[in-house]
Chain A
């Protein structure tokens, strides 16, 4: 069964406009949720993580995400896109029933137009 679904495989925005990357998860327990970013030909870098503390999580480079249990969502947002934000973004869940292993979404490629 799919544990994490990224609703868009590609998102295109203009520089200076808001970014929204959508992620839904399925879980019987309180999960830990992460967003990772991968720039071309690079490894993955942690953007932010939710670990059952504050539901609004702030990350690096102006990104933030809000954990909404009622909607089982963990969408990633940024108020104003920059060209350097162009990358692939992965929503990730860590659950006890998976032995604390990470389960990755399929990824969303963000394109930023000048």
Chain B
């Protein structure tokens, strides 16, 4: 079974802090994704990566950056956390990037920014 793990289930941070969310997958997948989930909005793509050191912006990249130094690990960085970044963050991975590819999701990190 594919396993996608996220470093924290819950995080509480203060406005202006730098925040790191870590994601690890154990199935040698090429593609990794970061989404945020808000009630009534579904999931929105923040960034994705199709290879080590490669990244592309998703639909809502403002205020975020990412890092992929190793194939199995994809980090989301909030450079200066703000209250409007309070949300659930979900990481996903897929073997390849085709239209039919299934994405496998981690359990999520619920971030509260005070």
Contact = CB atoms under 8 A, between A and B. Distances in A.
Interface of A: 9, 31-32, 34, 36, 41-46, 49, 51, 90, 94-96, 100-102, 104-107
A39 to B, nearest CB: 10
Given A46-B102, A96-B99, A101 B45 contact: yes
Interface of B: 4, 40-45, 48, 58, 90, 92, 97-108
Nearest to B98: A100
B33 to A, nearest CB: 8
Contacts of B101: 94, 100
Nearest to A95: B99
Contact of A49 (B42, B100, B104): B100
A43 B100 contact: no
B60 to A, nearest CB: 12
A102 B43 CA distance: 9
Given A32-B100, A49-B102, A100-B99, A42 B107 contact: yes
10 contacts: A9-B40, A34-B102, A42-B107, A43-B90, A43-B105, A44-B92, A46-B102, A51-B99, A90-B42, A90-B43
A100 B102 CA distance: 11
A106 B42 contact: yes
Nearest to B96: A100
Given A34-B102, A43-B105, 16 more contacts: A32-B99, A41-B108, A43-B4, A43-B108, A44-B43, A44-B90, A45-B105, A46-B102, A51-B99, A51-B100, A100-B101, A101-B58, A102-B45, A104-B42, A104-B44, A106-B40
Nearest to B90: A43
Contacts of B92: 44
Contacts of A102: 43, 45, 103
Contacts of B58: 101
B42 A94 contact: no
A34 B101 CA distance: 10
A90 B92 CA distance: 15
